Amino acid sequence: MNKEQSIEFARQYASDLVSFFGVNVTVDARTSDDIIELSVPSSDANSILIGRNAETLRSLQYLVSTVLRNKDAALWRVNIDVADYKKQRAERLAKQAREWIEEVRRTGESHVAHLNAADRRIVHQVATEYSDIRTFSEGEGRDRSITIAQASS
């Protein structure tokens, strides 16, 4: 299936998935850097759709992405956001990352944070705003962490 068909399929599949939770909303779909961005508007079931530590949200993403891959879709990477949860979380994490960076600048000591891949990506992105700071990830799987350090060290 081509890009447009992939996007529409993902939108409809996500709509069908959330309807199993009793949520009948219109899922919005767009693309950004060959990633299908699906936005589920706010409803009474936000906490159920997001789940503890966003586990349900990640599972929904995984399901949609897997089905697209199995259908040989042109686009299969998917990002689902419910009620702007991820957007708000990214903003909070970016603020926290800036605080960590300022601490590293002030003390000269590296800061290590145990974050999931999406959160590490946000910290790496924020760090690019600082020429005197470098970041790198270490470890494997769930034990992977990000280190924020001065570029000179």
User: Which among 81, 80, 91 has a CA at the least distance from the CA of 119?
Assistant: 91
The pLDDT of 66-84, averaged and rounded, is 90
95 and 77 part of one domain: no
What's the CATH number where 108 sits? 3.30.1370.50
27 and 55 part of one domain: yes
Alpha-carbon distance of 100 to 115, in angstroms, equals 14
Report the chain's C-alpha Rg in angstroms. 18
The pLDDT of 85-110, averaged and rounded, is 93
DSSP 135: E
75 and 7 part of one domain: yes
101 and 55 part of one domain: no
> Domain boundary residue among 65, 83, 101?
83
31 and 79 part of one domain: yes
Q: Three-state SS for 134?
A: strand
Alpha-carbon distance of 92 to 123, in angstroms, equals 11
The pLDDT of 55-69, averaged and rounded, is 91
Q: What is the pLDDT of residue 143?
A: 85
Alpha-carbon distance of 12 to 78, in angstroms, equals 13
Q: Which residues contact 139 (CB under 8 A, 6 or more apart)?
A: 145
Q: How many domains does the chain have?
A: 2
Q: What is the pLDDT of residues 116-138, one digit of tens each?
A: 888 899 999 999 999 999 999 99
Q: What does residue 133 show for φ and ψ, rounded to 5 degrees?
A: -125, 140
Q: Which domain holds residue 108?
A: 88-150
**82 forms bridges with which residues in the sheet?**
40
Confidence band for 94, pLDDT divided at 50, 70 and 90: very high
70 and 33 part of one domain: yes
